[in-house]
Amino acid sequence: MISVYLLLWWFTKIVQGSVRSEWRKYLNLLTEKIARMRGISLRRGLAGFLTLVTGVCGIFLFTRMSADEMDWTTISVVSLTGLVASLGVAVSEVYSSLKAQSRRSGLSESGQIVERATELEEPVEECSWFFVGVSFLITSMFTVLCVCYGVTLEDKYWTLAGLIFSVTILSFVMAVLCKPKRMDAGYKRFLYFHFFTFAVVGEIAITVGDFRSGFIFKGWFAILNIPLWSLAFWLVLKLRASAAKLPPQELSDFLCHTVLVKGTAAMGTILFFSFETVSCLISQNSLINGQCNNTSYAAMFLSLYLVFLTGLSIVSKTVPKSVQRETAWELSSIASLKGLKWWQQIQGGFMTITALISLYLLSVLGVEGNVNSSVFNVGALGGVSIGFAAVINTTTLIRTRNEHQRNTTTVELPPTQRSARGYSAGDIEENATTLALV
């Protein structure tokens, strides 16, 4: 079934390629339109939803490829759902291509000249309420699961909450940053309410459940998490205020490509890790026998590492590009291991530790059996390591930004200007992060 999905996707690409480049803009949606959720027809919206369904079904089937036991009912339902969705996408693309070709033929017969579209989409200052609403729905699901655990003391609710924990964090951060220009009191109250229902209520419910179950240490740990959540929320609000001061085009790129595109890509990978746990749970046919805790812990920590990396990328883009150039890692310095600052060396060491631990956790995915305490301990060590790297990166960025603001005599380069080596600041930063992980 995964092969069939790929064939249909390849077919849609062939259909799109059969249309002249002047009319391909009618076959693709600009990221700016997706961010605003405006100018999207019902058919295109439905095609996007079917694409999402196909991707989710494909990820689930991929995680079931190595399973020893199959639940044929679940496999059949998921396979047919993905097949119908992918066929719907293919039909939509064929219809769009035929419509574009017929319109081109009509203009050619009437003698009109078809010119390549050169108009640019206006910069995006705020994303749609749709993404904020989806985030609020996901965080509400997490809170409900935590409350169910606190009331019933059943571990299955805690397991299900752990499956969506990382997605919940990332979606909450994305929701806070979606509308950086909204500074009115009403919207700020909504943000505080969103945070309260996600972090405070959830942690209180977990605390009640742990105390009632006799896990006193875990209960106090959940209580102590509330000040940490509050500090993290305060930092995200600061990032939101910093992003609001970006120039219009940089703010548009930040919202469209950093928040939405990178955030969605990270959620897809997190979904894969979560489905590894779901695959194990289906094989064991139980949520409470503890045979899938190793996979669950590994998936949780890998997802948290990805959330940290996505957060670092978002943090680095909340400042002007001139500041990004001052904090970027030069590829030549990384290659020769010379000229690196002391904080870059320490940060690189922490990222290397996290990368090695990630390899170990990837090998644990899908492993069934009794709980292995080393999985949790090693995963926690990786979380502390990438946490220190994030603190170093954020502190350096804030200090450099403050110095840049005080230095009024510095002549800034145009944002689009590239270095002599042909790399932009964003390219250097992303390649450096990838190289550190490798």
Q: What CA–CA distance (Å, rounded) separates 268 from 308?
A: 15
Structure tokens belonging to residue 162: 């752990």
Q: What CA–CA distance (Å, rounded) separates 247 from 405?
A: 15
Query: From residue 159, how far is each of 20, 115, 173, 296, 373 by CA, in Å?
Result: 51, 56, 22, 8, 17
φ/ψ (deg, to 5) at 339: 80, 5
Instruction: Specify whether the CB–CB gap between 62 and 272 falls below 8 A.
Output: yes
Q: What CA–CA distance (Å, rounded) separates 355 from 358?
A: 5
What is the residue whose two structure tokens read 């950086």?
Answer: 180
Residue 64 Ramachandran class (φ > 0 left, ψ -120 to 50 alpha, else beta): alpha
Instruction: Specify whether the CB–CB gap between 386 and 354 falls below 8 A.
Output: yes
For 192-212, write each residue's pLDDT tens digit: 999 998 889 988 999 998 888
Q: What CA–CA distance (Å, rounded) separates 408 from 28?
A: 43
Q: What is the DSSP letter of 420?
A: T
For 370-381, write each residue's pLDDT tens digit: 767 788 888 888
What is the residue whose two structure tokens read 């170093």?
Answer: 392
Nearest to 292 by CA among 305, 304, 279, 302: 279
First and final C-alpha spacing in the chain:
32
Nearest to 121 by CA among 272, 256, 316, 240: 256
- Beta-carbon contacts of residue 46 (< 8 Å; ≥ 6 apart): 88, 92
Instruction: Specify whether the CB–CB gap between 145 and 161 falls below 8 A.
Output: yes
pLDDT in tens, the chain (438 residues): 899 999 988 888 887 776 655 555 555 567 788 888 887 778 888 888 898 899 889 988 888 887 666 678 888 899 999 999 999 888 888 887 777 666 655 555 555 444 444 344 678 888 889 999 999 999 999 999 999 998 888 878 888 888 888 899 999 998 999 999 888 888 989 999 999 988 899 889 999 988 888 888 888 888 888 898 888 898 888 888 888 888 888 888 888 888 888 888 898 889 888 888 888 777 766 666 677 788 888 888 999 999 988 888 888 887 776 665 655 555 555 666 666 777 777 888 888 899 999 999 888 887 777 767 788 888 888 888 888 888 887 777 777 776 666 664 444 444 444 333 344 444 434 443 443 444
